[in-house]
Amino acid sequence: MSLIRFTKEIDKYTWEISTEALEGMRVPGIVFGDKELLEKADADNALQQVANVACLPGIVKASLAMPDIHWGYGFPIGGVAATLVEEGVISPGGVGYDISCGVRLIKTNLTQEEAADKLQELVDAINASVPKGLGTKGRLHLERKEMEKMMAKGAAELVARGMGWEEDLEAMEEQGCYPGADPSKVSERAFARGKDQVGTLGSGNHFLEIQVIDEVEPLAEKLGLYEGQLVIMVHSGSRGMGHQICTDYIEIMAASLSKYGYSLPDRQLVCAPVQSREGQDYLAAMACAANFAMCNREALTHWIRECFERVFRTAARNLGMEVLYDISHNLAKQEDHLVDGRRLTLMVHRKGATRAFPGSRPEVAHRYAETGQPVIIPGDMGSHSYVLVGTEEALDKSFGSTCHGAGRTMSRKAAKKQVRGDELKRRLENMGIMVRAAHLAGLAEEAPEAYKDVKAVVEICQGAGLSRKVARMRPLAVLKG
């Protein structure tokens, strides 16, 4: 059902879905975008999902959607919803199957020109060193006790093993360790699926890119970014472990719905009270997956640094290979926010949406106090990616949230029907982009035409005040599973 007739324009970048759109809506829907994006989201049934989310018990302010919105499981991808911790719910569909799927940007002190002669050798070295693809096992083999320790302690455990730098932790959300993790709340099946997957890229839309910064804003210098600089972007998550945790707790919460008397417009929105046993167990398992994902990206960084050292015959520290930031776009977090003049403790669900806090928030590391927290936004493999920073305005408008990428316009199945992997590879190489893909069919699924224009998405986020542009990157090499 189209919801356009229940939607009104608030300003150039903001649209409101009335509570009259669907019986049971407790708050309105707010979509950040333009008219064209709104109409596409309506046709995709994503606006219906925004309205559905607005029915969740304990939701406050609005059911929000970022400009990269598209249809997802329960929540739209690009969806943000905050529920009261005391009276509200936690919904696994508001986090997604790839818990803590996220993006990391690694800086270098190399320019594109300085690295040009060694770029192909570097790409081949990384391609050989980084495991990628569906179900791939990694190079790091952990016993059960070691996995539990890593899931409880996060990236600091890998750093203690010599796979990372101490200063990496300050450049990660939660300093690399999501609080409240309890491995006893993770099923045996999830352990089995995650075994040996730390340090693996995965498949689907996950990737590793070597990029060059081709456009900067004044804030770039404060983050150590400059035009012509070579950087590396890593996009990966919690692999099979996170997927299984989501599956497990959707089943658990579905079985408990009647106990709590919840009536939902979509069964995919299964949920439980935040303070309930089911809710607390899910949050403890989700934290394990988040720590797993951050360890995954830390291990990948370790392999990447090793490859740079071999190819350039110098230490990674000499090459300036610092982590700019590591941020997730599939998590629920307990945060305090002002809503209608009252400070509330909320469970903020971000699914395909990125936390974008200003430097004034206590969660933001001191090194970003002046700039605001960095936000890493990947585009499609044939265009650009961006570094943004969070804003004070976003706290008021979106619980400090912004987009997570370009957002799909075409399903993977549809993309494979329209695009041949070998032809896409040639097209990208003709654009000067090296491609290493485990499977050409998987490459076709992620064709540039399957995504929105990331520039337009980022411009809307900046126009709406959700984040500010800092730098733009274009790909030189793409590695995919």
Q: Which residues are part of the catalytic machinery?
A: 404
Amino acid type, 462: Q
Question: Which residues pair with residue 143 across a beta bridge?
Answer: none
If you search the block for the tokens 């990628």, which residue do you land on? Answer: 132
- For 76, 286, 313, the CA distances from 2, given in Å and listed in that order, are 15, 34, 59
Nearest Cα neighbor of 153 from 167, 161, 336 is 161
- For 118, 263, 345, 441, the CA distances from 260, given in Å and listed in that order, are 61, 9, 21, 44
Question: Which residues pair with residue 479 across a beta bridge?
Answer: 208, 436
Q: Per the structure block, which two tokens stand in for 370?
A: 């002046």
**CA Rg value for the chain:** 21
Nearest Cα neighbor of 393 from 106, 89, 110, 11 is 11
Strands of 12-62 (E only): list them.
Answer: 14-17, 29-32
Question: Directed axis angle between helix 277-312 and helix 239-260, to 10°?
Answer: 170
If you search the block for the tokens 């994902």, which residue do you land on? Answer: 293
Q: Per the structure block, which two tokens stand in for 469?
A: 């542009």
If you search the block for the tokens 């190489």, which residue do you land on? Answer: 429
Residues 6+ apart with CB under 8 A from 116: none
Contact 350, 68 (CB under 8 A): no
Long-range contacts, stretch 45-50, CB < 8 angstroms, 24+ apart: 45/71, 46/70, 46/71, 46/72, 46/76, 46/77, 46/78, 47/3, 47/4, 47/7, 47/17, 48/1, 48/3, 48/22, 49/74, 49/75, 49/76, 49/79, 49/266, 50/17, 50/76, 50/79
Nearest Cα neighbor of 176 from 318, 307, 301, 337 is 301
Q: Counting runs of H as helices and runs of E as strands, what totals does the chain give?
A: 14, 19
- Alpha helices, DSSP H, located in 68-215: 112-115, 119-129, 144-153, 155-160, 188-194
Amino acid type, 350: R
Q: What is the dihedral of CA 305, 382, 235, 137, to 10 degrees?
A: -80
Residue 213, classified by CB atoms within 10 Å of its CB into exposed (0-12), middle (13-18) or buried (19+), is buried
